[in-house]
Structure 1
Amino acid sequence: MFISNSSRRAVVGAAGAALLVLSLAACGEKESTEQPGAGPSATTAADAALAAKVPDAIKADGVIKVGTDSTYAPAEFLDADGKTVVGFDVDLFNAVAAKLGLKAEFESAPFDAILPGVDSGKYEVGVSSFTVNEERKKSVNMVSYFSAGTQWATKSGNPNKVDPNDACGKKIAVQTGTVQFDDITARSKKCTDAGKPAITIDQYQAQSDATAAVVSGKNDAMLADSPVGAYAVKQTNGQLELLGDIYESAPYGYVVKKDQTAFAEALRDAVQAVITDGSYKTALSKWGVEAGGISNPALNP
C-alpha cells in the first residue's frame, strides 16, 4: 500500500487480489528465479546507444541481478510453481533490461532486506514497488517508473450510488492495518461531525476478502492501493469498476546504489525508451494497471 513516509505499504503479503494466494505458499523463498522470455522483453529489441551507457561492471555478465519482495500482486508475486516471480513490475523491468541489452534475474527477498542488498552489491537493482521519498534518496538513487495512490472500487454500475466524497451511511471494505483504514476512518468522522450517519467500516485481513465482500454485495465499495484495486477489477471480470480518481499518489522507483549514477541514468533512459516504443503500455495493460503509467521517468524526482 502506498505510504507517504518510508514504507511502500502498510501490509506486506495478502495485498493482492485472488492470485496472491498463490504467492503466499512460497513466501520468503530466496532462490534466484530467471524470467526467460517473460513479458514484453521477449520482443523488446536492445538499443545499442542505451546499452553503451551501462557501466562495464554491470554488463560484464549480461545480467542485471534484481532483488524483489514477491508478495505483492499484481506488482510482484510468485506464480503457481512457487518460485517464478511474475507481475507488472517484472514484465516492465524485463523490457527495460532488454533495452539495455541485458537479462533480468529476479531473487525473492524480504522487503526490508532489499535496500541493504543493493548497497552491499548483492543486487544490482531493487525492483519492488518502492515509493520514492526523501529518506530513501539520501542513501540510494531512485528512477521513477510508475505512480500509485489510493482508489475506490464498487460493483459495476455503482448500484448503491457511492460517492467517495460523501460516503456517509455506506458500508465500505478495507484491508486491516492499511492507510486506507485511516482514510475511511477520517471520512467517517467528517460525516458524524456534520450530523450525518457514520460510514460502516469493515476490515479484512486479506485484500482479496475485501474485494469478495464488494462483489457479493456485503459492502458497497472498497478502498485499496491503486494498482491492487485495478487488478481486482480485472480479476473479477467486470463485476467491479473503479470509482473516482487515484489520489495521494507518489512515484515508485527502481533502486540503484548511490555511487552508480551513470547506471541510474541508463535505467531512466531505458524506461523512456519502453514508453516510446509501446512496450511500457503493453506491460501495464496486461495487468490492468495502466492508470498508474507515467510519461516522464526521472532520476531522484
Structure 2
Amino acid sequence: MPLSPTRRTAATALGLAAALALTACGNPDDGGTAETAALPGATAKTKIDTSSDRARITTGKVGSLAAEVPARIRERGTLEIADSATSSAPLTFYATDNKTVIGVEPDLAHLVADVLGLKAHLNPVSWENVFVGLDSAKYDVGFSNITVTEERKEKYDFASYREDNLAFEAKKGSGLKVTGPKDVAGRTVAVSSGTNQEKLLVGWSRADEKAGREPVRIKYYQNPSDTYLALRSGRIDLALGPSPTAAYHAATAGESEIAGTYSGAGATLQGLIAATTKKDSGLVKPLADALNHVIENGTYARVLRRWGLSDEAVTKSEINPPGLPRTNK
C-alpha cells in the first residue's frame, strides 16, 4: 500500500518534512527564533519565531460575515476556542516563556475571530476535553489539529482549513522505512489514544494479522515528552503522529528521523484538518466563510508560511468534506 495521499505525491509529502526541518529550538538569547536547515529538498531557510512577544498576524472584521454568527456568541463578544495544549510544535505549544500558547492552530483561530468581529479566547485543554467541552457547549469551536472523519461527522460540523498528513518517526540511524502495514508488523509503535492515527494503526495491525503477520504492539502516550523518551531509549520502534510535529521534532532535537508519511484519511483520500463545532450549532458556515476570506486576502498563507506549513495549505474551506472512512486501510 503506497504511503502517498491521492492528492499529493510522496515527494511533496517529504518536502513538508524538509520545509519544517529546524536547526535549533528557540531560546531567549537568540530572540526565540529557529531556522529551517538546508536538508535535501529544502531550497530556502525560514525564520520561525517562538518567543512570547512576537506579533500575531491580524485581519479586519467583515460585517456581513460577523452577522452570520449565532446571536448568543455575538452578544457575548468572544469566540471560545478549545485547543489541545500538548507542546506539539508547530501546531500548538508554549513559547520561550513557557506560558504563552503559540502555533499555527491558535494563529488561525485568532484570524477567524478577527473576521467575525469577536475576541478570541483560547482555552488550552487536554485532547479529550476539546470534545467534552464542545459537547457541553462550554467551547464554541475546536482548533486543535482535528481530522475530519465520517464517525465524528455524526456529532460535529467541520470547516476545513489544512491538509492532514501523518508521519512515522524513528530513532535516528534506525534504518526503518514504513511503506505499508507489513513494515510495522511486530513493531512497537506509539500513538495517542482517541486520534485518527490510532484508528489507522489499529487497522494496519488487523491487516497484518489477516495476512498471517504479527500484529503491531501499540503503546499509548498522551505526553509527547514521554513518547520521545521511549523512542530515544528504544522502548518503542516508531511513533505515529501529525507530520508537522514529527518533522519539527526530528529537526530540532536531532535524535530522530521520518520513516514514512501517510494521509490522515487513508490511502484513497487526502485527510483534512478542520475547525470543529457541535453539530447544528449554527457556527460552521460563518467559520467556513471567515476561513475562505482569510484564504482570499492572503493572511492565511502568511500564517502557514510563518510556521513552515505552506505545503499543507488548502485553496478553499469546505463544510463537512469527505473524511476518514469508518473502515480504513
Q: Unaligned stretches of 5+ in structure 1?
A: 1-16, 20-34
1:132-143 alignment runs, 5 A limit: 132-143=148-159
Aligned residue for 2:290? 270
Contact 1:152–1:164 (8 Å) recurs in 2: no
Is 1:226–2:243 an aligned residue pair? yes
SS at match of 1:134: coil
How far, CA to CA, are the matches of 2:146 and 2:181 in structure 1?
Answer: 31
Q: Distance in 2 between matches of 1:252 and 1:274?
A: 16
User: 1:189: how far off?
Assistant: 8.4
- How far apart in 2 are the matches of 1:167 and 1:254? 34
Contact 1:175 1:181 survives alignment (8 Å): no
The answer for the alignment partner of 1:250 in structure 2 is 271
3-state SS of paired residue (1:39): coil
Flag structure 2 segments of 5+ consecutive residues without an equivalent.
1-21, 26-51, 322-329
Letter in 2 for 1:269: D
Are the counterparts in 2 of residues 76 and 90 from structure 1 also a CA contact under 8 Å?
yes
The Cα offsets for residues 215-234 of structure 1, whole Å up to 9 and x where unpaired, read as: 9xxx9997542222232355
SS in 1 for 2:166: strand
Deviation at 1:89, TM superposition (A): 0.6
Distance 2:220 2:155 in 1: 35
The corresponding residue for 1:57 is 72
Instruction: Tell me how large the CA RMSD over aligned residues is.
Output: 4.5
CA distance in 2 between counterparts of 1:109 and 1:222 reads 22
Provide closer, same or farther for how the CA distance between residues 125 and 91 of structure 1 changes in structure 2, counting only shifts above 3 A: same
Work out the CA distance in 2 between the residues paired with 1:208 and 1:285. Answer: 26
Structure 1 residues 104 and 162, CA gap change in structure 2 (3 angstroms): same
> Partners in 1 of 2:224 and 2:262 — Cα distance?
20
Quick one: structure 1 residues 150 and 117, their matched pair in 2 at CA, closer, same or farther if it must change by over 3 Å? closer
CA gap of 1:285–1:234, structure 2 versus 1, over 3 A, is farther
TM superposition shift of 1:270 = 0.8
Tell me the distance in 2 between the aligned counterparts of 1:265 and 1:90. Answer: 20
Identity value in percent: 28
Contact 2:231/2:239 (8 A) holds in 1:
yes
Residue by residue, what CA displacement relative to the aligned partner does 1:23-48 show, whole Å, maximum 9, x if unpaired? xxxxxxxxxxxx9985322xx22223
Q: Is the 8 A contact 2:161 2:314 kept in 1?
A: yes
C-alpha separation between the residues in 2 aligned to 1:297 and 1:164? Answer: 30
Does the 8 Å contact 2:113/2:120 carry over to 1? yes
Could you list the per-position Cα deviations for residues 113-154 of structure 1 after superposition, in whole angstroms to 9, with x for gaps in the alignment?
333423433222222222222333223322222232323568
| TM-score, length-scaled by structure 2 | 0.59
Q: TM-score, normalised by structure 1?
A: 0.64
Letter in 1 for 2:306: K
One-letter amino acid matched to 1:76: T
Query: Partner of 2:280 in structure 1?
Result: 259
The amino acid of 1:231's aligned partner reads Y
Q: Residues 167 and 258 of structure 2 are in contact (CA less than 8 Å); yes or no, is this contact kept in structure 1?
A: no
Structure 1 residues 268 and 234 mapped into 2: Cα distance closer, same or farther (>3 Å)? farther
